[in-house]
Structure 1
Amino acid sequence: MTRPARDDARRGRAGTPSGVPARPSSCRSCLFVRRTERSLLVTSATVCSNAFSARSETASTVPAVRLHHPSGAELVVALRGAAVLAWRAPWRGADGTARIEDLVDGYADETEVAAHDAARSALMAPFVNRLAGGEYRFDGVRHQMPPVLPWEPVTMHGFARTLDWAVVERVGGPAEAAGEGDARPVSVRLAATVAADAHAGYPFALALEVEYALDAGSLGVTMRACNVGGTAAPVALGWHPYLRVPGHETIDRLELTVPAGRAVVTDPGLLPLAGPEAFTAVDGLGPLPLAGVRLDHAFGALRADVDGRARTLLRDPATGQGLAVWQRRGLVHVYTGDGLARRERTAVAVEPVETLTDAFNRPDCAADVRLEPGAVREFAFGVEILT
């Protein structure tokens, strides 16, 4: 596996194909295309302009929606890009004291939000990680897609992170009606649209949706893409969170476990090699102590637990506490934060993605990315607290 040199921008990332594309469903569930009112707010979901701070209540001018759970857990999501700005949840420290702790290393301030610094907690769509040379062919037509942001040197991470998203629904879930106290989740659903030709090199129309579900011990995320155009479209979905374990200012005393059957082999530009050479067999990764380890690699053929979820674990070996990123399909990319301009190696990016990096240009990913008119694809994943 190549361990390439860092570049100045936040790099694109690779992974392995899921093997079996998600079955498209009817676009009837795409009703969110017509539901973009920002005023639909219920109980503990609040749109506010002073909504985030990873470690304090410092005022912010970034419009966001905030969820509060009865357990004290809190989620703050920006309306630009629908990125998680903060996720705080109950955590028992080494001294046995329970407190509310930050579990993601999101954007620290408005400057980082505007710069998309390290694409922290970015939703990736309609493509994940890098697009080689900013170009691809789809159904015989060549498309040239410039960098998403003018200061980015390569085309990467999709442009969903630049869209304006609207709150369309807040759902408490069945547990709320049953009166189960802290057990009930709270959730918020946001939607955005991609107009045909609104983005250079992507002449396709999509309706995008994300739902965040919060409870005392987990954060669930469901992304959906609906093709609302008249032709098939290439689409891939993913998430780009930086996760932190409370009590650790660096990742050096943490360990990583990935339940993978294969790893992705990349060239120096972090693009997967062509064809089957892109993959090498592995018998899982870890538990791997992260002290002195630099990772910027994708892993596939993820082995699921009995509940159907494959879990990548980031934990403190001394206490067993940590976080588990789960997904039912796709692959996971792990980046240890080496070379970041800000907060290097203070968190680990554990990124569930549907497809291999540069999937639009790979024949072996053609079925995975193709979304027919009227079809919907859903990608669900989340993070659980390990106690």
Structure 2
Amino acid sequence: MTVLGNRKVGRYEAYSLRDASGWGIEVMPEFGARLNALWLRDGPLCLNVIDGLDGEEEPQKNRPYYNVLLFPFVNRLASGRYSHGQRSYRFPINEPARDNALHGFLFDAPFRIVHAKADADEVSLALSHEYAGDRVHYPFPFLIDVTYRVRRRRFTLELILRNTGPDAAPVAVGWHPYFTLGCPVDALRLKAPTAERIEVDEERLLPTGDVQADAEFAAGRQIGREHLDSCFVLSRDAPPMIRMESPEACLSVIPDESLGYLQLFTPPHRRSLAVEPMSANIDAFNNGSGLMVLPSGARFSTSVEVLLDRI
């Protein structure tokens, strides 16, 4: 087993754990515990399937939400406002052009490394963040544990939340990875299950309350020049598997059934595809779709699996 120490990405440390044959992970603990690289191997094929930050970028300015964990809300929150327990709160606005709060606040939170494992069968890294409830817009303490685990061609993200405060707390979680197979998105073939597409307004990209059945990628087809930026309600009657195919490889993303919503997004550079499993809808703190209210002392766990297959 080869354990590669660390390198600087902007002002943050990125730690790598890799097998001698190449598969493994790179994680940035002090910058939201984000997964910055994921090398998977199937036979002779070894690919980094995460579009991460390179050593020359300043993470706070360049692609700040790439590959982040989403908490305590996912996607957009209208004007940052919500109410809970007879009180009103407002998150800071970090999408000013649309007057929305975006992706919660875990994306730049410092995590501590709890455990690292590197042997012939598995590479894994467990990290933890203790949120004290010290933000006026979200006064609900939580313990957040995340584990990244690789076994050659198979990756698993495991996320556990614990409400450590005295009161029940509204919460939603998700993951915002940007996947790549080493070619432009245009060349990828995408297969996604039939789902309900959430209709949003053009100005702020917030739900209108309408949904439409969507089977656009159910049979699988090339993405081409199409721009994707849609949120879906996944059906519990169909396997929630999203497949990306290039001429040489197939990547499958399999969210746990507790992650019943999915955002697909093609960034302007079109070298990767965001496949974002989420436990709740856009603006869930206001519309209630998928929103959890976790009692004091309760925990919630979920996971996402990623598989690489060579073609």
Greater Rg by CA: 1
Letter in 2 for 1:372: P
Listed as ranges, the matches of 1:77-88 within 5 Å are 77-79=27-29, 80-88=31-39
SS at match of 2:7: coil
Match 2:73 to one of 89, 112, 127: 127
Whether the aligned pair in 2 keeps the contact of 1:77 and 1:84 (CA below 8 Å) is yes
- Alignment pair present for 1:63 and 2:20: no
Match 1:310 to one of 206, 224, 240: 240
* 1:111-165 alpha-carbon deviations (Å, 9 max, x no partner): 3412261511011111111111011011221101113599996311111112110
Match 1:217 to one of 150, 153, 160: 153
Which structure dedicates a bigger proportion of its chain to helix?
A: 1
Whether the aligned pair in 2 keeps the contact of 1:194 and 1:206 (CA below 8 Å) is yes
**Percent same amino acid among aligned pairs?**
26
* Residue 93 (structure 2) aligns with: 147
SS at match of 1:117: coil
- What RMSD in Å do the two structures reach over aligned CA positions? 2.6
Unmatched runs of 5 consecutive residues or more in structure 1 = 1-42, 53-59, 93-97, 339-343
Question: Are the structure 2 counterparts of residues 230 and 148 from structure 1 closer, same or farther at C-alpha, using a change threshold of 3 Å?
Answer: farther
Task: Give the whole-Å Cα distance in 2 for the aligned partners of 1:190 and 1:152.
Answer: 33
* 1:217-248 alpha-carbon deviations (Å, 9 max, x no partner): 022101111100000111111111111113x1
Question: Are the structure 2 counterparts of residues 356 and 164 from structure 1 closer, same or farther at C-alpha, using a change threshold of 3 Å?
Answer: same
Offset of 1:258 from its aligned partner? 1.0
Task: Give the whole-Å Cα distance in 2 for the aligned partners of 1:112 and 1:302.
Answer: 39
- Alignment pair present for 1:323 and 2:273: no
* 1:65-95 alpha-carbon deviations (Å, 9 max, x no partner): 3222354202110012001111123367xxx
Higher relative CO (CA 8 A, sep ≥ 6), structure 1 or 2? Answer: 1
TM-score by length of 2: 0.89
Task: Give the whole-Å Cα distance in 1 for the aligned partners of 2:267 and 2:250.
Answer: 18
* Residue 189 (structure 1) aligns with: 126
Offset of 1:265 from its aligned partner? 1.0
Offset of 1:285 from its aligned partner? 2.5
Whether the aligned pair in 2 keeps the contact of 1:328 and 1:380 (CA below 8 Å) is yes
How many aligned positions are there? 305
Listed as ranges, the matches of 1:1-387 within 5 Å are 48-50=5-7, 61-79=11-29, 80-90=31-41, 98=44, 100-109=46-55, 111-115=57-61, 117-147=63-93, 154-171=100-117, 181=120, 184-196=121-133, 198-246=134-182, 248=183, 250-268=184-202, 269-274=204-209, 277=210, 279-283=211-215, 285-286=217-218, 287-302=220-235, 310-316=240-246, 318-319=247-248, 321-329=249-257, 330-338=260-268, 344-365=269-290, 368-387=291-310
Letter in 1 for 2:251: L
Task: Give the whole-Å Cα distance in 2 for the aligned partners of 1:295 and 1:271.
Answer: 16
SS at match of 1:123: strand
Unmatched runs of 5 consecutive residues or more in structure 2 = none
Letter in 1 for 2:16: R
Task: Give the whole-Å Cα distance in 2 for the aligned partners of 1:156 and 1:302.
Answer: 25
Whether the aligned pair in 1 keeps the contact of 2:41 and 2:308 (CA below 8 Å) is no
Task: Give the whole-Å Cα distance in 2 for the aligned partners of 1:283 and 1:116.
Answer: 34
Which structure dedicates a bigger proportion of its chain to strand?
A: 2
Whether the aligned pair in 2 keeps the contact of 1:191 and 1:210 (CA below 8 Å) is yes
Whether the aligned pair in 2 keeps the contact of 1:360 and 1:369 (CA below 8 Å) is no
